[in-house]
Chains A and B, each alone.
Chain A
Amino acid sequence: MNSSLVPLLDINNVWLTYMVSQGLFRSKRPLHAVKGLSLSIKKGEVLGLVGESGCGKTTLARMLLGLLQPSRGKVFIEGRLLAKEGRWALSKKIQPIFQDPYSSLNPRKRVGSIVSLPLKIHKVGDPAGWRIKAEEMLDIVGLPRRVYYSLPSQLSGGQRQRVAIARALIMRPEVVLCDEPTSALDVSVQAQILNLLIDLRKEFGLTYLLVSHNLAVVEHLATRVAVMYLGRIVEEASTDDLFNEPRHPYTRALLDSVLTPEPDLGLPDARLGMTFPNPIDPPSGCAFHPRCDRAMPECSEHVPGVVQDSLGCVSCFLYADASGQPAKQD
Chain B
Amino acid sequence: MSALLQAENLSVDIPVPGGVLHAVRRVNFNVNQGETLCLVGESGCGKSLTALAIMDLLPHKARRSAQKLSLAETDLLALRYRQMADIRGNQMSMIFQDPMTSLNPAYTIGDQLMEIFLRHRKSSRAQARDRAVFLLEKVGITAAGSRLKQYPHQLSGGLRQRVMIAMGLMCEPALILADEPTTALDVTIQGQILHLLADLQREFQMGMILITHDLGVVARVADRVAVMYAGQIVETGDVHRIFESPLHPYTQGLLACVPVPGKIGRNKHLHSIPGIVPAPIGDLVGCSFRNRCSHTMDICASDDQRLKAPALARGYRCVLDPEVCRRNGQMVAA
Name A's B-contacting residues (CB within 8 A): 52-53, 156-159, 186-192, 194-195, 198, 213-217, 219-221, 239, 243, 253-254, 256-270, 272, 274-276
Contacts and interface: CB of A to CB of B under 8 A. Distances in A.
Nearest to B250: A188
Nearest to A266: B220
Contacts of A243: 261-262
A217 to B, nearest CB: 6
Given A187-B42, A192-B272, A215 B186 contact: no
A251 to B, nearest CB: 12
Contacts of B218: 261
A258 B261 contact: yes
Interface string B241-264: 001100000000111011111101
A195 B269 contact: yes
Contact of B267 (A192, A217, A221, A265): A221
Contact of B257 (A187, A263, A274, A276): A187
A257 B190 contact: yes
B43 interface: yes
A275 B143 CA distance: 14
Closest 5 CB pairs of A and B: A259-B216, A191-B272, A186-B42, A188-B273, A220-B259
B271 interface: yes
B264 A220 contact: yes
Interface of B: 42-43, 140, 156-159, 186-192, 194-195, 198, 213-222, 239-240, 243-244, 253-255, 257-262, 264, 266-267, 269-274, 276-277
Contacts of B219: 259-263, 265
A243 B192 CA distance: 22
Nearest to B198: A267
Contacts of B217: 259
Given A187-B42, A192-B272, A195-B269, A261 B261 contact: no
A246 to B, nearest CB: 11
Contacts of B259: 191, 194, 216-217, 219-220
A269 B191 contact: yes
Contacts of A195: 269-270, 272
25 contacts: A53-B186, A157-B43, A187-B254, A190-B257, A191-B259, A191-B273, A192-B272, A195-B269, A195-B270, A215-B187, A216-B258, A216-B261, A219-B261, A239-B266, A256-B191, A258-B187, A259-B214, A260-B261, A261-B258, A262-B243, A267-B195, A269-B191, A270-B188, A274-B192, A276-B156
Contacts, number: 140
Nearest to B216: A259
A257 B220 contact: no
Contacts of A213: 186-187
A260 B264 CA distance: 12
A204 B113 CA distance: 55
B266 A52 contact: no
B272 A254 contact: no
A259 B190 contact: yes
Taking each of B190, B214, B216, B266, which has the highest tally of chain A beta carbons within 10 Å of its own beta carbon?
A: B266
A37 to B, nearest CB: 20
Contacts of B192: 270, 272, 274
A267 B194 contact: yes
Contacts of A253: 188
Contacts of A268: 191, 220
B216 A220 contact: no
B40 to A, nearest CB: 10
A158 B157 CA distance: 27
Contacts of B260: 216, 260-261
B186 A267 contact: no
A215 B261 contact: yes
B140 A274 contact: yes
A219 B270 CA distance: 13
Contacts of B276: 156, 158-159, 189
A189 B273 CA distance: 7
A261 B198 contact: no
